[in-house]
Amino acid sequence: MGHLERLTGPADLRELEARELDELATEIRDFLVAKVSRTGGHLGPNLGVVELSIALHRVFDSPRDRVVFDTGHQAYVHKILTGRADGFDKLRQHGGLSGYPSQAESPHDIVENSHASTSLSYADGLAKAYAIRGEDRHVVAVIGDGALTGGMAWEALNNIADTVQGGDERRLVIVVNDNGRSYTPTIGGLANALTALRTNPRYEPLLDVVKRRLNGVPGVGPAVYDALHAMKKGMKDALAPQGLFEDLGLKYVGPVDGHDRAAMEQALTQAKRFGGPVIVHAMTRKGFGYDPAEQHEADQFHGPGPFDALTGVETPKGRIWTDVFNDEMVAIGRERRDVVAITAAMMHPVGLDGFAAHYPDRTFDVGIAEQHAATSAAGLAMGGLHPVVALYATFLNRAFDQVLMDVALHRCGVTFVLDRSGVTGDDGASHNGMWDMSVLQVVPGLRLAAPRDPARLRELLREAIAVDDAPTVVRFPKGAPPADIEAVGTVGAMDVLARRGDRDVLLVGVGSMASTAVEVAERLTAQGIGVTVVDPRWVKPYDDAIVALAGEHRMVVVVEDNGVSGGCGASLLQLLNERRVSTPVRLHGIPQEFLDHAKRNAILERVGLTPQAIALSVTEEFAAGLGDGDAERAPAPHHPADRA
């Protein structure tokens, strides 16, 4: 039995000798590759923090000392060290281990939000609380170089660097996990400053040569390693000047080889003793110790799906929505010289790598900085260009004010393309793109389209970039798109996808739910209920023709892959109310709860966003006599929520 199997918690780590700890690090790497190759997950980031996490849990006393991971995708090793190795067989699956810290899983976990650049703010608050309460507890934040490009991180650093009156009692250690990458190499002045530290020509190779010469030399024990660390320290102080953090007034320890556990322990111990806020700059490599990850060109196995552990070859995913967008942007870039593209450190995941390869001068990676992305896009539009800002839907949340007051208020022609809209599943509650069609409803002038298939994505994207006096949004989900669903007619600017029997039910299928609506129609028709299925294409504003169409039916059913609160159904209900159309409206969307992680389809099943569940709900209402106008409004279908 190896050390890993015997681990029940961090205390066990303190019993292990140096060589056993090195053996444990090897076991953890082998474990991560074996498990994540089967489930998929954030292999690269976690291979990069094995020694760092071991050192952290040997020096600090979690959960009394609190460990806050930024974004949280690099917390697998932390979970292994805190007794959860057994849960990795069901990583990111319903009922299994979350891919991020989870308070429900362990007292060692505290921050569950996977939106980057928040950790230092949490840590600042926690450290202040413990100082005020007189609790001698440390707070350790682990933040990546990518997350450091987010504005919130600098808001926090500005506060952390501000010394409280009467001396600084805040026990706060910030570990900068600097692997030089987000997915792709981290961009910007900050990254350049970190790189200057990391790649100081006189610092790196010499130390590597010495380390390599010593590694594996028989008889080389702790004493030699300690001597090396002492030498490193001397060299580092002499060779690697740094102002980035110390100019802010923050104490700085590093740069430290983040894969040298003993050196990390020494640096963390030094930081712990300091007492006030201090930064430990750890230099690591994403994917360290597993060649297919380290050599992986695009993102060093940031978040692969299942793969062959021996070869590193990923199981083919097939064509996804993102690929359709990727290809269309290349075509658009050729036709429209004024179109420019912006990504927030996710060039490949959002499908702008094709555009970037063809038009590098018109492509901007702004780092994990969605707020800056939105407002700099407003500037680009004011300057006569048409920016396309490609984000994951959930990450637009933090740029809401920029969309509202920087883009829409000035009527800027900016197109936001929101990938991963709707239920994403694997990455838990903070990754579902279930908010955009609610929060964006309140933005005056903004227009929002939801394509039902690849053909409509290409059409609607082109319609969106043709608008130069208002923000436009095109949103689509994670995963594979359906085959194109051809219309059988049109009403106004809306596509009619099916028309069978009487005008009993008007089914409004929004975006990816249009195919679901067509399947609902088949089930209702079989029950003798007449249906009309429409895809509105643009859901903000709706085409006015929907008002009369709704008035001609006995019931309207809206199906959307968005939260039900304030979504497309709610906005249609409001429109019909304003226009005095009394047809009852039923909303089928994502319940307004934080949904636990699971596969997308499993969640859609669980919340009733399936043809079966929707058809049953409608059939039951008709069976109860609804639709002839005299029955009480049926209670909204309640879905067994994971968590309110």
Ligand X SMILES: CC(=O)[C@@H](O)[C@H](O)COP(=O)(O)O
Ligand Y SMILES: Cc1ncc(C[n+]2csc(CCOP(=O)(O)OP(=O)(O)O)c2C)c(N)n1
Phi, psi of 342 (to 5 degrees): -130, 135
Among Mg ion, ligand X, ligand Y, none, what binds residue 427 when CB lies within 5 to 8 Å by partner kind? ligand X
Among ligand X, Mg ion, ligand Y, none, what binds residue 345 when CB lies within 5 to 8 Å by partner kind? ligand Y
Q: Per-residue string for binding with ligand Y, 5-44, x by CB under 6 A? A: ----------------------------------------
133-152 residues near Mg ion, rule: CB under 5 A = 144-146
Report, in Å, the least distance between residue 151 CB and ligand Y. 10
Report the alpha-carbon distance of residue 77 to residue 28 in Å, rounded: 7
404: contact with ligand Y by CB under 6 A: no
The encoded tokens of residue 20 equal 């056993």
Q: Using DSSP, state whether 535 is helix, strand or coil.
A: strand
Q: Using DSSP, state whether 257 is helix, strand or coil.
A: strand
Between 179 and 532, CB nearer to Mg ion: 179
100-119 residues near ligand Y, rule: CB under 6 A = 114-116
Is residue 617 a known part of a binding site? no
Stretch of 28-36, 165-173, 176-184, 462-470 contacting ligand Y, by CB under 6 A = 176-184
184: contact with ligand Y by CB under 6 A: no
Q: Which of 342, 368, 539, 604 touches ligand Y (CB under 6 A)?
A: 368
CB-CB contact of 563 with 590 (8 Å): yes
Cα 257 to Cα 27, 202, 264, 289, 606: the distances in Å are: 20, 15, 7, 14, 46
155 is catalytic: no
By the criterion CB under 6 A, which residues form the site for ligand X? 71, 73, 114, 303, 349, 420, 424, 427, 478
Report the alpha-carbon distance of residue 644 to residue 632 in Å, rounded: 27
H/E run at residue 454: helix 454-465
Report the alpha-carbon distance of residue 535 to residue 419 in Å, rounded: 19
Report the alpha-carbon distance of residue 633 to residue 624 in Å, rounded: 11
The encoded tokens of residue 150 equal 């987010």
User: Taking Cα atoms as reference points, which of 500, 496, 499, 522 lies closest to residue 509?
Assistant: 496
The encoded tokens of residue 615 equal 């058809």
273 is catalytic: no
477: contact with ligand Y by CB under 6 A: no
Q: In one letter, which amino acid is 176?
A: V
Among ligand X, ligand Y, Mg ion, none, what binds residue 45 when CB lies within 5 to 8 Å by partner kind? ligand Y
| 180 phi-psi bin (left φ>0, alpha ψ -120 to 50, beta other) | left
Report, in Å, the least distance between residue 76 CB and ligand X. 12
Between 150 and 333, CB nearer to Mg ion: 150
Report the alpha-carbon distance of residue 265 to residue 580 in Å, rounded: 69
Is residue 262 a known part of a binding site? no
145: contact with ligand Y by CB under 6 A: yes
Is residue 145 a known part of a binding site? yes
519 is catalytic: no
Identify the active-site residue in 370, 463, 560, 621. Answer: 370
Between 185 and 530, CB nearer to ligand Y: 185
User: Taking Cα atoms as reference points, which of 210, 257, 200, 235 lies closest to residue 52?
Assistant: 257
Q: In one letter, which amino acid is 1?
A: M
Report, in Å, the least distance between residue 298 CB and ligand Y. 13
Report the alpha-carbon distance of residue 282 to residue 179 in Å, rounded: 8
Is residue 146 a known part of a binding site? yes
Q: By the criterion CB under 6 A, which residues form the site for ligand Y?
A: 45, 71, 73-74, 114-116, 144-147, 177, 179, 181-183, 286, 302, 344-346, 368, 370, 395, 398
Active site residues: 286, 370, 398
Binding site membership: which residues?
A: 73, 114-116, 145-147, 179, 290, 370
Binding site membership for thiamine diphosphate: which residues?
A: 73, 114-116, 146-147, 179, 290, 370
